Amino acid sequence: MDIAHRATDQQTPAEQRRRELLEAADRVVLRDGPKASMNAIAAEAGITKPILYRHFGDKGGLYRALATRHTDALLSSLRASLDAPADRRRRVEATLDTYLASIEAMPQVYRFLMHPAEESHQTEQGFDVGRHSAPLLRRMGEELGQVIAERVDLGPAAEAQARIWGHGIVGMMHAAGDWWLGERPCSRAELVKSLADLLWGRLAEADDRPGGPGF
């Protein structure tokens, strides 16, 4: 039996039901994107909306659960790219490509999670996507800053510098990726190369910390 099956078997009935509801919500989001509603998600799961509220509280609770689900998967992929056996430039490019490939593969999920201007979100029970999406970007920035601090020797004030870079890189990926996903002005490979070129200043000159895989 594989790890996924063992994890499922170890879940309580309530946890399994919550997972099933999140999978139903994912299907609706993949189909409807930012227009996904609690009514549609409840219908997809074969339950009434009050039952959905019982599990998640409100749309904000469901949104946070979906966001955690997708952010955990993305961060795991980003860390794998950063730890791949390659030189630093290639690992940076692989990390950028991993992020862009993720939003390209599931644009409706990305728009659901990240677009605060969608009218359907703003009007449904006062739900404000912007208030919920900002913590996702902050979490990604903190995680990337931690990875940089572990792998790059930045000298004095290294922790603060790594956090600045982490949040700056995430902000760059998010802004550039959002623009690229909407307009497609170039290929993904061209965007990755251009963003890596932008980063290739002091990061390229800093020494790796001893005893680690580097960055």
Nearest to 102 by CA among 86, 90, 113: 113
pLDDT of residue 212: 61
Average pLDDT over the chain reads: 83
Contacts (Cβ under 8 Å, ≥6 apart) of 73: none
Contacts (Cβ under 8 Å, ≥6 apart) of 55: 17, 18, 21
Q: How far apart are CA 112 and CA 144, in angstroms?
A: 23
pLDDT of residue 213: 63
User: DSSP letter at 209?
Assistant: P
- DSSP notation for 96-152: HHHHHHHHHH-HHHHHHHH-TT-HHHHHSTT--HHHHHHHHHHHHHHHHHHHHHHHE
pLDDT tens across 10-56, in order?
A: 668 888 888 999 999 999 999 988 888 889 999 999 999 999 888 88
pLDDT of residue 121: 43
Q: Give me the mean pLDDT over the 3-16 stretch.
A: 65
Q: Taking the complete model, does pTM exceed 0.85, yes or no? A: no
Query: What is the total residue count of the chain?
Result: 215
CATH superfamily of 64-208: Tetracycline Repressor, domain 2 (1.10.357.10)
Q: How far apart are CA 20 and CA 69, in angstroms?
A: 13
Residue type, 67: A
